[in-house]
Structure 1
């Protein structure tokens, strides 16, 4: 019911930042491993369907797809739909401007790329996102559609605002981005600088970062996810730190039970796992198989038991967690923790009772 209401309201809501721009143009530059789909011009109603149809007809014979955007904006609904489709298909996005197509030649990168309004929302759908050094991305309030009364207009705005906030959250943006967007009038543009782009997670930061403290089974744990970490063999999606019975523990999770370990992989006799390594700014620490527990047929991959001094070092700066195994066994579990200057206070707090 709610989804249907939002869809109807979005269909009546257009956010155009440059009405004089040409309609969107979609093309592809095909590579062996990576292919690039370029989207240029104003995004109008129906362009999300055009983009999906183009993808279905052309996105093949590559392992990786990048959607390159250079657009002044357009239809809010279509921008979000394009972003959701990009995320569903695991594609990456970039803000870059290219020269026109020349048969037999790769297009030349040009300066002045911009991605505003609805384009910025489509950009947020990328699993990985990149903005050219001189490129700009911009956000602002959406333009409301016509309403017959003040009450209807308020309901309209509330529905669309909630939907937009949820979309940005699902794409990994910090909540502050929606606040800044909402505080910028439709005739203006919030163009974040490089520091804001990183702080608002408009371009995702590398590694596991911004751990959150939360209660779990009577304990306090710190947890962070990195949806870019899992790969063809790599499974690690979430890292959790906690103190259990005076032992610092690191739990490692896959994104879903389906991506967990099979019984054969979790068996000590077949998985060839001989321990794990923790790299910190104060040194590297090796642990044997007696300090690791593997779990089959569930999202939880492994529990690592570490020493208090290692827990303290891990909470005080960036580090790396690596489970030692032969990749031929199908087990590859590891990820980098990126901490702010002075360490991650949530990780330290989760270990506090063990230090």
Structure 2
């Protein structure tokens, strides 16, 4: 009928359906990246390390890759290639007995870390990080473990902490971040099996995001951090500048 318009409620439902279809497409794309990581990596490059300045902070995110052009600080035994799952290395940072968590965060890594810490003769004095991220569930479990242990977290010169890794950084009782370290966030996928109908996928993501918000709040982190993550697509990474690291309380101290 000429002049007939779709009711406002209908337009809202159409918009919601379109958003769910788009989200489902992103999820399937994410599954393809996970199923064929070698093909994905062959056509991607690590995010540029510098320059990063306010308003120019979004970089390409390449899973399992980290920038290597930043010189490593003393006591930072960074591997030539990023480990495919977390590895635990004992080192000394600023005279403190430190365990470096390096590599991608894979399902089951939180249990592996708990076993590693149980088998140590003495507890570490702090936890260092260098990771492109990975399993959100494991990152949150590791974070809770660190907070329960009362350990500080540290980002050394030349280190990077992307995707779910900042949730581990957030758990430190003190959080020292080098001004040459890189900390970045973006949107996450939640759950192992994401080949789901769109409405179920949306429900899973909303549940997972709610858990992240509760976690950050319990760690004393400004929830504006999560807003930056949700505004950044999974294929990109938003690198936080010093004012954001301290303003969001993700860093309690910036060091050289």
Do the two structures share a fold, i.e. TM-score over 0.5?
yes
Going from structure 1 to structure 2, the CA distance change for 1:17 and 1:126 (only over 3 Å counts) comes to farther
Q: 1:293-332 to 2 correspondence within 5 Å?
A: none
In structure 2, C-alpha distance between the alignment counterparts of 1:169 and 1:70, rounded to whole Å: 23
Match of 1:172 among 220, 236, 239: 220
2:141 corresponds in structure 1 to 81
Contact 1:141 1:185 survives alignment (8 Å): yes
Q: How does 1:59-98 map to 2 (within 5 A)?
A: 60=122, 65-96=125-156
For 1:165-244, list aligned pairs within 5 A: 165-204=213-252
Q: How does 1:136-175 map to 2 (within 5 A)?
A: 136-144=182-190, 145-175=193-223
Question: Aligned-pair distance for 1:205?
Answer: 6.8
Q: For 1:205 and 1:112, how far apart are their aligned partners in 2?
A: 16
Separation in structure 2 between the aligned mates of residue 17 and residue 126 of structure 1, nearest angstrom = 26
Deviation string for 1:272-319 (max 9, x for gaps)? Answer: xxxxxxxxxxxxxxxxxxxxxxxxxxxxxxxxxxxxxxxxxxxxxxxx
Q: Determine which structure has the larger helix proportion and give its number.
A: 2
* 2:132–2:165 CA contact under 8 A, matched in 1: yes
Higher relative contact order, structure no. (Cα contacts within 8 Å, ≥ 6 residues apart): 2
Matches for 1:19-30 after TM superposition, within 5 Å: 19=64, 21-22=82-83, 23-29=85-91
Aligned to 1:18: 63
CA contact (8 A) 1:17 1:116 kept: no
Shift of 1:19: 3.6
Please, which of 113, 120, 123 is the counterpart of residue 159 of structure 2? 113
Q: Which runs of 4+ in 1 moved over 6 A?
A: 13-16
- 2:64–2:103: 8 Å Cα contact kept in structure 1? no
Cα deviation, residue 30, structure 1: 6.7
- Match in the other structure for 2:105: 43
Other-structure match for 1:317: none
Give 3-state SS (helix, strand or coil) of 1:43's partner: coil
Deviation at 1:48, TM superposition (A): 0.7
Cα 1:54–1:87 change in 2 (3 A) is same
Structure 2 segments unaligned to the other structure (5+ residues):
1-30, 35-60, 66-81
The answer as to whether partners of 1:141 and 1:182 remain within 8 angstroms in 2 is: yes
Q: Let me know the Cα RMSD of the aligned residues.
A: 2.7
Distance in structure 1 (CA, Å) of the matches to 2:222 and 2:155? 20
Contact 1:95 1:114 in 2 (8 A): yes
Distance 1:120 1:19 in 2: 15
TM normalised by structure 1 equals: 0.46
Q: Which has the larger radius of gyration?
A: 1
Contact kept? 1:198, 1:204, Cα under 8 Å: yes
CA distance in 1, matches of 2:138, 2:110: 5
